[in-house]
A = this chain, B = another copy of it.
Amino acid sequence: MADDLVVMKFGGTSVATAEDIRRAARRIVAARESGRRVVAVLSARGKTTDELVDMAYEISARPAAREMDMLLSTGERISCALCAMAIHDLGHDALSLTGSQAGIVTDSSHTKARILDVRADRIRQALDEDRIVLVAGFQGVSGDSRDVTTLGRGGSDTTAVALAAALGASVCEIYTDVAGVFSADPRLVPDARKLPIVSFEEMLEMSASGAGVLQLRSVEYARNHGVRIHCRSSFDDGPGTLVVSEHETMERPSVTAVTHAEEARVTLTGLRDEPGVAARVFGALADANVNVDMIIQNEPVSEDHLADLSFTVAREDMEPAVEALEGLGIAERVLADERVGKVSVVGAGMRSHPGVAAKVFRVLGDAGINIEMISTSPIKISCVIAPERVAEAVQALHAAFELGADAVRTEDPAGEHRPTVA
């Protein structure tokens, strides 16, 4: 019976200063005093991780991944120890645990480890002793080598969701410096709406296409384990955005949100067009731990069966991707474009509303914005465009699909999640 258990996760901006840590502690204690048992997952404070990364690069141009994990994992431990002290001062018992102590068992893929198992015995025991448990996010321990591992940037969200799943928590609350998930980036679109509820599938597409509020992997983990996420602000008490199974959401309009991102693009020219080439290319990228986003292969037009292949990757993955492919030696040239723009339209209702893609292309065309690559899923359409046209594209699409704060929404007939304008 874990209905009374909540996992709360506080991001780096929510624990940056001593006052931020006290605020997080008060929120944790308030949850405890409302009768719930609390496990809180903390990120490293403010710019701590960046500072540790800088220290490493001050020492070495190519720091070993294992040592990077030993280094970076200290940031979250500092946050947890300090927050435990603040909770003690509020008269409650709290225990901080490293990822290893919390039983977060991962593979040994340093700096990008995946969670294999959650052995939460120690957390359960502390909860049974009526203690608040604080867990250092972003990290675990390799099941094989017993080395410290980290889960990659934003991995604390995944820690929180994994613990919520393992402990059967009723909800995983993700506290950040934004009030929830919005219909577009409010910095670009002033009338962007906070969405009261989105489905896992929509959130996955939005995280993958640039909505920074939740890490893609954590949403995937939540969907796979049925963990409800409540994404909310650590600075006010208003409701945020619930991320839930699609059957919990009501009928939706065709489009929920417009997202945007910057990526890098790699193009292979003069690729031999024969079976197995693509497998070799993307196998090499997988070996280099590079996640590929959009892919376009042009039909070979020339007699000698040479093709072009383009794909986009996260900007920090461009260099390892190029290196991995140059080592392969199967293309005439490996070209890299370190900055392209991407704009995406996401909505679960798109499945039953034909014509969304056509409308996207028309809106961009009317604005004179050239589409360089297109990729679609049943609930998303993404277009690669020039990076300097991204803001304009987001604004045009947000207006065309009437996503602004004045728009009528249908998914919340009970009025439980009244939209709040940021």
Contacts and interface: CB of A to CB of B under 8 A. Distances in A.
Given A21-B59, A74-B74, A85-B56, A96 B80 contact: no
A238 interface: no
Interface string A21-65: 110000000000000000000000000000010011011111110
Interface string A60-88: 11111011101101100110111011101
A62 B90 CA distance: 12
Contact of A56 (B68, B82, B148): B82
A245 interface: no
From A18, A67, A78, residue with most partner B Cβ within 10 Å: A67
Contacts of A58: 18
A78 B55 contact: yes
Nearest to A52: B78
A194 to B, nearest CB: 32
Given A61-B89, A74-B77, 12 more contacts: A52-B78, A56-B82, A56-B85, A59-B86, A60-B85, A64-B84, A67-B96, A70-B96, A71-B78, A71-B81, A71-B82, A74-B74
A106 to B, nearest CB: 16
A146 interface: yes
A73 B61 CA distance: 26
Contacts of A101: 146
Contact of A81 (B22, B67, B89): B67
Interface string A88-111: 110000011010010000000000
B77 A60 contact: no
Interface residues of A, number: 36
17 contacts: A21-B59, A52-B78, A55-B78, A56-B81, A56-B82, A61-B89, A63-B88, A64-B84, A64-B85, A64-B88, A67-B85, A67-B88, A68-B81, A71-B77, A71-B82, A74-B77, A74-B78
A360 B353 CA distance: 98
B78 A59 contact: no
Nearest to A141: B101
Complex A-B, nearest 8 residue pairs according to Cβ-Cβ distance, in ascending order: A74-B74, A71-B81, A70-B81, A60-B85, A18-B58, A63-B85, A67-B81, A67-B84
A55 B77 contact: no
Interface string A148-176: 10000000000000000000000000000
Contacts of A82: 55-56, 59, 67, 71
A363 to B, nearest CB: 49
A59 B18 contact: yes
Contact of A80 (B21, B68, B70): B70
A137 B253 CA distance: 59
B78 A60 contact: no
